[in-house]
Structure 1
Amino acid sequence: TAESLPALTACSWSHSTGARGLTQQEREGSYNVSITEASEKDAGDYSLCCGSNSTRSCVAFTVHVKLRHPSTPQLKMLPGGDGASSKYQCSSDGFPEPEIRWIPSPPRVKTSRTQAGTAVSVVSSYHFYKTRQVLCCAKNAEGEECSKLLTYDLQTPPSPDEIPVVTVTLGQSLLLRCTTSPAGKGLQWLSDRGGLQRSKFFEDTGDSLICYLFIESVGEEDSDTYTCRSDDNRNKSTRVQVLERGFLSILQLNELNTVSARESFCFTAVVSAHPEPRCHWITPNGTVPCRESRTFWGNRTYQLCDPAPGLYQFHVENSEQHVTRNMSLCLTDTPIVHLIQETHRFTCTTNSTLPLVITWHTCPSSANCLEASSWRITQERHLQVSDLDAFCQKRASSSMVLADLQDSISIKCCIQNSVSSGCSPEAHLLTSPSLFVQPWIITLFTLLLVCITLLLTVILYSRKYDVMSPQKPQYESQLRMLQMVDNDYIYIDFKDFQYDRSWEFPRENLELGNELGSGAFGTVVEATAYGISKPGVSAQVAVKMLKEKHQAVEKEALMSELKMMIHIGSHVNIVNLLGACTDSDPVYLIFQYCAKGDLLNYLRSNRERFHQSLTDIFTKNRFSCLYHNFQSQHPHRDGPASFQSPYVPMASRETETEQLLGQNPSCMDTTDGFYEKSDSSPAEELQVLTYDDLLSFSYQVAKGMEFLSSKNCIHRDLAARNVLVTHNRTVKIGDFGLARDIENDSNYVVRGNVRLPVKWMAPESLFQGVYTMQSDIWAYGILLWEIYSLGVTPYPGIKVDQNFYLLIENGYQMDRPYYASSSVYQIMRLCWALEPQDRPAFSKLVACMETELEDVEEKLYSNITGSKSNAYHNICLTSDLCPPSDDCNISTSGEPETP
C-alpha cells in the first residue's frame, strides 16, 4: 500500500532481471503483483516505485525460489478395457519439474502434468511383459530418483532382483507383478491373513500370464506377507511393511582412522533408509558425490577409497531427514628416530602421529651391548610435542641430561607409535660427563654473560630514547578450546577445520549501521540482517570484522574463531553466532545484538535506582495497594515452606512482578515513568535494580560459563565489561578483544610485551601463563565482586605494581562488596582459592546461585504475606540441605545475611 500528499501520480512494479512482464493490480491504494507457478526465473529483486510530483519513492523485496529434489516416483496400475492392455503410470514432483524416463525405454510414452511441479508419464504394460527389470526414474537439476516395478517370475529360481521385503509409507502406492507360463492357470496373490486380495488384475499376453497386486494408497492394515501362487503349486513371497513415515540412520562409519602409509584405505558408510537416500563426501579438496546405488531394499554401503590425510564429512539425506558426520584420516609409518648429542644433553626427535611412547636405553661399557639383555630402560622423560604442516603429524622430542649418565656408556632412544617402533643409532659417552661438560660450561657462561650485558644495555637505551617500538601483537580470540595431550592442556587449532557453508549469509542482505566498538584489530558495528532468522523478517544484529589493514594471520585467526563458534554451539547466556560472510573481504561474523550494552556500564548507570528488593519500593504509600494484589494472587500460600519449584531464571520473578504490578490499574502511575506499556519486563518498566537482579546476573553468567566449560572452552577475559545485557535482563557472555581499545583501557596493564587484565587473572595465569577452566572460575569471583559493588573496579585503591603481585601471590582477598550477602561473599572467596583444584566447578556455582535465588524468593513471600517463618536460609550454608558432596561447601561466619 502507498499513500502521499499530494496524491500519487503513478505506481509500478519492476523485476531486477526484466525477464518477464508483471501482472499487477491496483485497488484502493493497494498495488499487487502475483506470481503463479513460480520458477527459477522468478527469483530476484522486485521493486514498487511510486511518484508524486517531483518525489519518487521505492520499496524492494527479494524472492528466493527453493529447488526441490525429485520425490520417489510412484508407480500405479491403470487397467485396460475391452481387451486393451493395461498401463503403468509413474509420477514424481520436484522443482524444477522433473523429467521422467523408463528403463528400458519404450517406443511410445505419454507424458502429462497434473499440477505445478508434478510430472506424470504413462506407458503400455505390453512393452514390458518380457522385461524382468523395469525402472521409472525422475530427474531434475537437484538429482535423480528411481522406483522399480517389483516382478516375481514363478518359472525361474529365486533371484536377487526379487525383493523379499518391500517398504512403503502410509498413502504411497504398492504395485506387485507376478508372471508364469500360460499353462500355469489359477495365478493369484494371497496374504497370510487369508483370502484373495481386493486389488488385482490379470493379463494374458499369449506368451505369459500376469497377475498384479495393486493398492493405490496403503494403510497400516496392508502390512503383511503376500504370496503369488499358481495352480501347479509354484509360488514366491514378499513381505510388505507399511511405515508411518520414512527413516534414515547411519549404521556404520569409521570416523577416527589412523592407518599405515603402506596400506590401502576406504572410508565406509553403511546406511539404512527409506525412501532411497542421497549422499556425498565433503573432502579437503571439495565435494565428491557417492557412487550411484541401485539398491531397492536393505542397507546401502558407500565407500570413498584412497583419500588423502585430513578432515572429512559424510552427508546423507532423503525426504525425511539429513545427517552429517565428521571423519578424519591420519597416515603413519615406522618412526625415523634421530639422536643428537649437544654440549650437555642428548636429544631424541621424530616426526610421527600421536599417540607415541619414547624410551631411553643405556648399556654400560662393561657389558656386551650386542645382547639385548644388556640394555636397560631408564626412567620416563618429559615429551615435548609441536605441530607440523602435515595433517596429524607432530614433532616429538625428549632429552637426557649428560649429568644423569655414567662414565663410558652407550645410549639410544626408541619411539613406538600405533603402527610400529623405531630406534636411533647408538651414541657413546667415553669421558666423565662432568669433565666433558666443564670447559663448555665455562665458555657458554662467558658468552651468556656478555649477551645479557648487551641485552640490558639495549633495553635501557631503547626505553630512555624510545627507539625501540614494541612489535604489534596479532589478533586471537579470547575464547579458546582445550584438549588434553599427555597430561597437559593444549589449545585446539581450528585453522584446518572445515568451514560449514550452511552458516554463510548473503552479504547483500546485510545493511551495516553505527559502530558499537573499535579496537586495535577491528570493529563491531550494529547492522540489519534481512532473512537471517526467517524469510522476509529483518533482525538487528552485531557484525564483527577486522580493520581494513590487517595481516593474513589475523584473518586466519578470525576464520578459526568462526569455526570454533560453530563447533561450540549456542546457549541462551552467550552471545551466539548467527551467520557469516566469508566469500570475499572483509570477513563478517554476525552475532546477536544486545540492546542494553555491557553489564559494567549497565550496573553503573543504574546505581541510583538500586533497591534491596521490590518490597522496598512497595512500602511507599502510593504503592501500598500492591500488597493486596499479591495476597489476592496467592490466597493459599502458607509462606516459604510451601515453595517447591527450582529457580527458573527471570521467568518466575517476572510473573510475580506482573502479579504485583498488573492487577490494579489504580497502582499504575505513568506521570514519572515508573510504568509504561512496552515489550520489557515489569521490573525494567519500573527502571529499578534489585538484589535478586544481581543474583540473576550471577546465575546466568555461571550458566553460560558452565556451558562453555562443558565444551572444554575457556574465556581468558571474563569480566563485567565482556558480558552484555539484552531485553528482560538476560545477560550473555561475549568476546570483544577484537574491538577493545586496550591501549586506552586502564583495566589492561602492560606485563612483559602484552597488555593483560591483571586484576581479573588467577595467580597461575599471572605468574605461569597458564589458562584453564579453573582460571576462569577465579575471574568469575572477580566478576561477582563487580556485580555486588555495582560496577566498582576491583581492588579499589590498590595500584598494580610489584606490591600488588606480592599480595596476590600471598593469598590476599578483597573485602565483601557493599551489596553482597555473606553467603555470596563466601562463594567469591571459594573462587579465589590459591590452588586451582580447590575452586568449585561452574556446575557447583550454578547450583549455589540457584539456591541463593530460591532463598530470596522465599524471603519475598515471607515479607509480602507477613509470615514470621525463619525459612530464609542459604541452602549452600545449611548442612542438612548440603550433604557431604561439597557441592555448596561454604562455611558460615556469623555475619548478617544481607548487607
Structure 2
Amino acid sequence: MHELRSIRTSSQPGHWLQVAIIFITLSAVTNQNSSAISCFLIQSNTETEEVQPAEYTMSNSLNTNTNLECHLSSWSSQYIYKAAVTVEVNVFHSVELKVMQNISGIVSCIWSHRQSSKQCSLIYTSENSIVSLELLKVTDKDAGEYELSIKNEDTSYTVYFAVRVRSKPRKPYFKEYERRVTCISRGYPPPSVQWLFCISPNDRCGNRTGIILYKDMDSYGVQRVEHTMRARKLLEEHIWCCAGNDFGRECTQLYTLDLRSVIPLPEIFVKVGEPFIMRCRARYKTFHFNIKWSSESENKLWWFEESEYVTGPAMVRVLFASAHRMEKNNSGNYTCVSSTHPSKSAIITLLDRGFIDLNTSSEEHEIDTNEEFCFVAVFKAYPAVTCVWYYHSTSFPCDLLNTENGYSMSKYCNHNYVPGEYIFYVENGDVHLNKTFTLNILQKPKVHITSKADLITCVSYGYPISTLTWKKSDDVSFNCTDDIMEGITYGIPERKIDNWKSNSTVDLTNMTGTFSVCCCAMNSAGSSCENTFKNVKSIQQVQNNFIFPIATGCCALCIVLLIALVFNKYKKQYRYESQLQMIQYIGPSDNEYIYIDFSVLEYDLKWEFPTENLELGKVLGSGAFGKVLNATAYGISKPGVSIQVAVKMLKEKPDVSEKDALMSELKMMTQIGHHENIVNLLGACTLSGPIYLIFEYCCHGDLLNYLRSKRETFHRTWTDVVMDNNFSFYHNFHQDQKSSVRAGISASNGSNTTISRTQEFEQTRQGQEVTLSSGHSEILQHDMEMKYENTRSYDDEEDLNVLTFEDLLCFSYQVAKGMEFLESKLCIHRDLAARNILVTHGKMAKICDFGLARDVINDTNYVVKGNARLPVKWMAPESIFEGIYTIKSDVWSYGILLWEIFSLGVNPYPGMQVDANFYKLLQSGFKMDQPFYATDEIYFLMQSCWAFDSRKRPCFPQLVSFLGYQLSNTEALVYQNMDNTHCKDDSSRTSSLNGVNFESISEDAEGDQEEDSPMCQ
C-alpha cells in the first residue's frame, strides 16, 4: 500500500486521505465443488500538515475493516460473487484492489472495467498468490463496476465490485421544452439543486427549488437531478442554478443580455449536440415597446417571449432563444434589438470537442516569508473543468473564480512557505493539462567557519546562491576591512531541499602574525559574516623555537603513519559512490553543474520484490564495498516464471553512508527507466534484511574479456566465416528474425532501414569480380544465386564461436545507443570502458556500473590521484585536471572504448605508465595510433571523440547515426577496400551522414579550431 505523504516544516492539523485496499481471500477445496470468498475494505490515513476546508477533510462513510459482504449469486459451473457494499473513493485519491487467492493449478486472471480489460500480475508468497490493480488519482472515468475473472484448469471465479467516485457536482446546465426551463446536474453523492435570483450566488438571495422532474443513477453511480421552472417565472435580471453536495457547490448563470446593463456577455461556447438557452431582457416604463432577435445564423433558434408588470410601474419583457440540440451552423452573432433600448449582441461559437486554454509553461517564484503570496492559474475552458493542486503527490482542493472576460482563476495560498514544486492539474473530459509552479523562499545566508592548521573553510546556507568574500584585520576587534585576495578556492554550489550550500577555503600559509579573519556571505535576501582569530608565527620563529618539538613530532608522525598503513589493510579507504550520476545544469559552462541528491527523494515501493522469492547463487564479482551475485527470481517478470538475475548488495556490516549510497543508486535507477542497451533494474528488496538491487543477468560477462576470448576466432567478414566452415552451416539456418539492433538501425534523418548483410554482400558481389579457388567457387556461386534466402540466427553465430568486424561495429553502435538514452536522461557514466559493458544472448551489449563490486584497490586500471582511485586512461583531460564530468567527458571515454573494441581488448596507451610524462603527453594533444582492426572511418571517429576542447567532440545521437550508416554498409565497404587496395585515395576515407563531414571534424579535433563541432548544432 502506497502512502502519499507531504513534507512540511511546521505542525498543523492534518486531514484524512483514503487509500482503499480490497483483500479477497479465495480458497478452493480439492474437488473444486465449493469456494469461499471474503471481501474487505481497509482504510488508512495520511496526515498532511496543511489547513484544509472542512468539506475536504471529512472521513469516509465506511469504517476501517468494513466487510464488503461478497455473496454467491450463481449455482452454475462458474462461481460468481458480488460485493454487497459499495466502495467509495474521493476524487483524485488513490485506490488499490488486491486479491489473495490459493486456487490450485495454473491460474490466470483478468481485470475488466468499462469494456476494457487488463491482464493481471500475480505475485507469489509462501502461502498464496496476490493479484493487484492500482487506480492512481481517480477521476469520474474510474467509477463503475470492476470485474475480476480468475480461472484455473477446471473452474472459473468471477467477483464484481461497485466503485463510486465522490466529488463536487458537475456544473449545472439548462435546456428548454414547451416554455419550461430545466436545470440539470449530475454527481455522487447526489446533489441538491436550487434556483437563485441575485447578482452573485454567494449573496443572500431568494431561492426556489422548482419542480423535481427527474432523478436517476447511471451504471457508474452518478445521479442525475433535474429541476424545472416555468419560463414566465424566470424574468429577473440575474438567475443562477446551483448544485451542491458534501464535497462542494457548482453554479451556472443563465445567459442573459440585459439591454439596460453596460456589462457585455463574454463569448459563449457550446459543443455540437448540446442543448442551449439564452435570454434577452428589457424593462420600460410602458408596455409600448418590443424586442426581437437578429442573427445571421443559417439555422435559427426557437424564440418565444414572456412578460409581466412590475412595481414602478413598468413592463418587463424577456425574449428566450433556445435549441434542444445545437448544430454547427448555429454559430454566429446574435443581437437583441428593441425600439426603446440600445441593441446588445452575443457571440456563440460551436465546438466539436472541449478545450482548455492554459499557459502550461513552468513558473518559478522567489518570495520572502513576510510576503503574502498565492499561486494563480488563469485559464479559459469549455465545458466546465475539475481541478486540483498537488504537492509531493498529495492533493489539495481547487476553488475556481470566474472573471468578467470569460476566464476562470484558481488560487492556492496555503503553501505555508514550504519550498518545492506545486502542480496545478485541470481536466474537463476532453482535455487534461498540468502546470508546475516552483516556490523558492528567500533566506539570508547562514555562515559557519571551521579552521584546520593554516586552512579556514567557510560554508554558507541560503537562497539564492551566496557570494563569499574574505577579509582580515590586524587586531582582535573582528572589524575586518582588508580584502584577502590570494590563497582562496571556491567549491561548486550544492542545491539542498530548500537552499543553496556554498563553500570556500582560504590558505593562510603565506601570512604571518596575529589577525582576525572574516568570511562574509551575501545574496539578495541579506548578508552575514562569521569571524575567527589566527596567530600564525613566521617560519624563522618556528625553526628557532620549535626544532626539538618538530623533531619529536616527526618521529611521532612516522609511528602514526606506520600504524595507519597496517590499519588500512583491514579498513575500507574509499567511500562508495555510484559511477552513474544524474546531473542538473545550473549554468552555461561545463563546470557549472551539480549532481542530483537522490537521498532526499522517496523510494517508490512499486519496485519492491519479496525477499522470499529470491534465491541467491554464486558470486559474480566482489569489491571493497559489496558484491554482485547470480540469483533466481520467481515471478519478477511473469507470474509463475523464474528467471536468472544479478543481485547487487553491500558486504556484511555496512555503515550508514554506504546504505544511503546504495539507496540513492536504487532511486536513480527507478528514475532512469528502461532501455535495451543498459542493464535494467528489475526490482529491489529494502524492507527487511540486507538491501538487494535486482538487475538483468548477462550470461557472457563483460565485453573486455569477451573480446579477448574471441581473438583466435575473429574473421574480417562473413565470407571468411563461410569459407572457413565449408558453408555447411548455411543449409541449416532457419528463417529467424534479425536482432532488433541490426533490424532497427536507420540514418538519423529518415534514410532507408539497414539492408541485411547477406543481401548487401550479394549486391556488392554482383558489381565485383572475386577470385576464389575452383573447389569453393562453385559452392559459393550456388549459395549466392539463392540470394541467401535463409538468414542466420544468433544462436548459430554463438555455436560457431566466431567474431566479425560487423560484430565490433554492432557493439559500438549498441553502446552509443545506450549512452544516447542516458544523455536524454541527463545521466553521466564517469567510467565508460569495455570492462563496464556486459554481453548477453544475441551479442547484445548493455551498459552497467560495476562500482559496488569492483576491486578498485587491486585493479591496475584505477590509479591513485589525490584521495581517490580513478580510471585515468579512460578519462577526458577536463576530468583529470579540473574534476569536471559531463556527457562530453563520456564521449572522450567512448572514444577509448572504441579503441578497446577494435583492438580486441588491448589495454589503452599500451606500454605507457600513468605518471607525470603521461599527463604532459595528454595535455600536448597526444592520441593513440589506429588500432589493428579499425577502418580509417572508425579511427577518424575516435579522433573526433578525443578533441581536447570538449565543445568540438560529437554528441551521442550523431555517433549513433554514423555507426548505423557504417553498420548498414559493412560488407560492401570491406569488399570494396579489398578490391581497391592499390588505388585507394585518401579522400575516399571520408564518410558523410546527414551533412556531417567526419573528416572535417577530425581536423577540428587535430587543429583545435574556435568553432564548435557541427555534430551537435
TM-score normalised by the chain length of structure 2:
0.63
1:177 deviates by 4.4
Equivalent in 17, 29, 34 of residue 39 of structure 2: 17
Q: Does 1:166 align with 2:284?
A: no
Aligned: 1:494 with 2:597: yes
Change (3 A) 1:585 1:255: farther
- Measured after TM superposition, the shift of residue 206 of structure 1 is 8.2
C-alpha displacement at 1:479, in angstroms?
Answer: 1.3
Cα distance in 1 between the residues matched to 2:691 and 2:288: 74
Percent identical across equivalent pairs?
28
Change (3 A) 1:360 1:792: closer
Give the counterpart of 2:832 among 693, 700, 718. 718
Aligned to 1:637: none
> Partner residue of 1:68?
139
Is the 2:190–2:223 contact (alpha carbons within 8 Å) kept by the matching residues of 1?
A: yes
Q: Deviations over 1:436-489 (max 9, x none)?
A: 67536877897676555434323334545x686313654422112444679845
Is the Cα contact below 8 Å between 2:608 and 2:686 reproduced in 1? no
Aligned to 1:809: 919
CA, structure 1 residues 32+861, in 2 after alignment: closer, same or farther (shift >3 Å)?
farther
Amino acid at match of 1:90: S
Structure 2 residue matching 1:886: 3-state secondary structure: helix
Deviations 1:801-852 (CA, angstroms, capped at 9, x unpaired) = xx55467435487665443334434544665678878866556655654554
Q: Does 1:99 align with 2:190?
A: yes
2:526 matched to 1:417? no
Pairing 1:292–2:402 present: no
1:79 aligns with one of 177, 192, 199: 177
**Could you list the per-position Cα deviations for residues 230-267 of structure 1 after superposition, in whole angstroms to 9, with x for gaps in the alignment?**
56546543323333433446437774444455544444
Matched, 1:330 2:441: yes
Q: CA deviation at 1:701?
A: 1.9
Q: Is the 2:946–2:1005 Cα contact (8 Å) retained in structure 1? A: no
2:490 to 379, 383, 386: 383
1:704 and 2:818 are equivalent in the alignment: yes
Q: Which residue of 1 aligns with 2:349?
A: 241
Evaluate the alpha carbon distance shift between residue 508 and residue 44 of structure 1 in structure 2; reply closer, same or farther with a 3 A threshold: farther
Q: Which residue of 1 aligns with 2:715?
A: 611
Pick from 392, 396, 399 the counterpart of residue 499 of structure 2: 392
Counterpart code for 1:68: T
CA shift digits 1:479-534 (9 cap, x unpaired):
12444679845542424765596x845757996566695654465766577799xx
Paired residues of 2:100 and 2:128 also in contact (CA < 8 A): no
Moved more, 588-597 or 301-310: 588-597
- Residue identity matched to 2:561: I
Task: Name the SS of the counterpart of 1:99 in structure 2.
Answer: coil
TM-aligned CA distance change 1:891 to 1:779, over 3 Å: closer
Q: Is the deviation greater in 202-211 or in 226-235? A: 202-211
CA contact (8 A) 1:823 1:877 kept: no
CA contact 1:253–1:268 (8 Å) conserved in 2:
no
Which secondary structure state, in structure 1, belongs to the residue aligned with residue 39 of structure 2? Answer: coil
Determine if contact 1:72/1:147 at 8 Å carries over to the other structure: no
Structure 2 Cα separation of the partners of residues 732 and 185 of structure 1: 85
The Cα shift of 1:400 comes to: 7.6
Match of 1:88 in 2: 183
Q: Contact 1:577–1:592 (CA<8 Å) still a contact in 2?
A: yes
SS of the equivalent of 2:209 reads coil
In 2 relative to 1, CA 819–98 (structure 1 residues): closer, same or farther, beyond 3 Å?
farther
Give the 3-state SS of the residue equivalent to 1:125 in structure 2: strand
State the 1:289 CA deviation: 1.6
Equivalent-residue separation in structure 2 for 1:749 and 1:693 (angstroms): 31
- Structure 2 unaligned segments of length 5 or more: list them: 1-29, 41-68, 89-95, 107-126, 141-166, 196-207, 311-315, 732-744, 763-780, 1008-1017
Structure 1 letter corresponding to 2:423: F
Secondary structure at 1:477 match in 2: coil
The 5 Å alignment of 1:610-689 reads: 610-618=714-722, 622=727, 646=747, 652-653=753-754, 655=756, 657=758, 689=803
Do 1:355 and 1:417's aligned partners in 2 also have CA atoms closer than 8 Å? Answer: yes
Q: Is the 8 A contact 2:259 2:344 kept in 1?
A: no
Aligned mates of 1:317, 1:62 — CA distance in 2: 28
Distance 1:375 1:390 in 2: 35
Q: Could you tell me how far apart the structure 1 residues matched to 2:72 and 2:559 are? A: 80
- Distance, in Å, in 2 between the alignment partners of 1:292 and 1:456 is 72
The change in CA–CA distance for 1:274 and 1:235 in structure 2 (over 3 A counts) is same
1:458-473 counterparts in 2 under 5 A?
A: 458-461=560-563, 463=565, 469-471=570-572, 473=574
C-alpha distance in structure 2 between counterparts of 1:393 and 1:336, whole Å? 11
Select which of 900, 905, 920 maps to 1:786: 900
Q: Which moved more, 1:339-348 or 1:738-747?
A: 339-348
Deviation at 1:325, TM superposition (A): 2.2
Q: Quickly say closer, same or farther: Cα 1:658–1:843, change in 2 above 3 A.
A: closer
Query: 1:225/1:717 Cα in 2 relative to 1: closer, same or farther (>3 Å)?
Result: same
Superposition CA RMSD, Å:
6.1
Report SS of the residue matched to 1:786.
Answer: helix
Identify the residue that residue 222 of structure 1 maps to in structure 2.
330
1:17, 1:44 within 8 Å by CA — same for their partners in 2?
no
Partner of 1:129: 234
Are residues 804 and 570 of structure 1, via their aligned partners in 2, closer, same or farther at CA, if it must alter by over 3 Å?
Answer: same
Aligned partner (choices 556, 560, 566) of residue 454 of structure 1: 556
Shift of 1:329: 0.4
* SS of aligned partner of 1:701: helix
The one-letter amino acid of 1:20's match is C
Q: CA deviation at 1:750?
A: 7.6
Residue 442 and residue 781 in structure 1: after superposition, are their counterparts in 2 closer, same or farther (change >3 A)? farther
Structure 1: which amino acid aligns with 2:71?
G
Whether the aligned pair in 2 keeps the contact of 1:505 and 1:580 (CA below 8 Å) is yes
Give me the whole-angstrom Cα distance separating, in 1, the residues matched to 2:976 and 2:729. Answer: 16
Alpha-carbon distance in 2 for matches of 1:538, 1:216: 58
Say if 1:164 and 1:237, in contact at 8 Å, map to a contact too: no
Q: Residues 846, 891 of structure 1: CA spacing in aligned structure 2 closer, same or farther, 3 A cutoff?
A: farther
Shift of 1:100: 3.1
Other structure's SS at 2:524 match: coil
Does the Cα contact within 8 Å between 1:541 and 1:590 map onto a contact in 2? no
**CA–CA distance in 1 between the matches of 2:710 and 2:830?**
27
Correspondences of 1:118-517 after superposition (within 5 Å): 118-126=222-230, 129=234, 132-135=238-241, 137=243, 146=250, 148-152=252-256, 154=258, 157-158=261-262, 163-179=265-281, 188-191=292-295, 193-194=296-297, 197-200=300-303, 211-229=319-337, 232-233=340-341, 236-248=344-356, 250-251=358-359, 255-260=363-368, 262-283=370-391, 287=394, 289-295=396-402, 297-304=406-413, 307-308=416-417, 310-318=419-427, 319=429, 320-325=431-436, 327-333=438-444, 351-358=461-468, 382-384=489-491, 391-397=498-504, 399=506, 401=508, 416-419=522-525, 438-439=540-541, 451=553, 453-461=555-563, 463=565, 469-471=570-572, 473-482=574-583, 483=585, 488-489=591-592, 491-495=594-598, 498-499=601-602, 504-505=606-607, 512=614
Q: Compute the displacement of 1:14 (Å).
A: 5.8
Alpha carbons of structure 1 residues 313 and 136: separation in structure 2 relative to 1, 3 Å: same
- Residue 718 of structure 1 aligns with an amino acid whose one-letter code is L
Q: CA–CA distance in 1 between the matches of 2:696 and 2:344?
A: 62
Q: Which amino acid aligns with 1:166?
A: I
**Structure 1 Cα separation of the partners of residues 802 and 171 of structure 2:** 63
Q: Is the 8 A contact 2:466 2:502 kept in 1?
A: no
The aligned length equals 820
- Residues 879 and 885 in structure 2, CA contact (< 8 A), matched pair in contact too: yes
TM-superposed deviation, 1:387: 5.4
Describe how 1:30-41 pairs up with structure 2 within 5 A.
Answer: 40=87
SS in 1 for 2:425: strand
CA shift for structure 1 position 292: 1.1
1:874 aligns with 2:983: no
Task: Give the secondary-structure state (helix, strand or coil) at the position aligned to 2:422.
Answer: strand
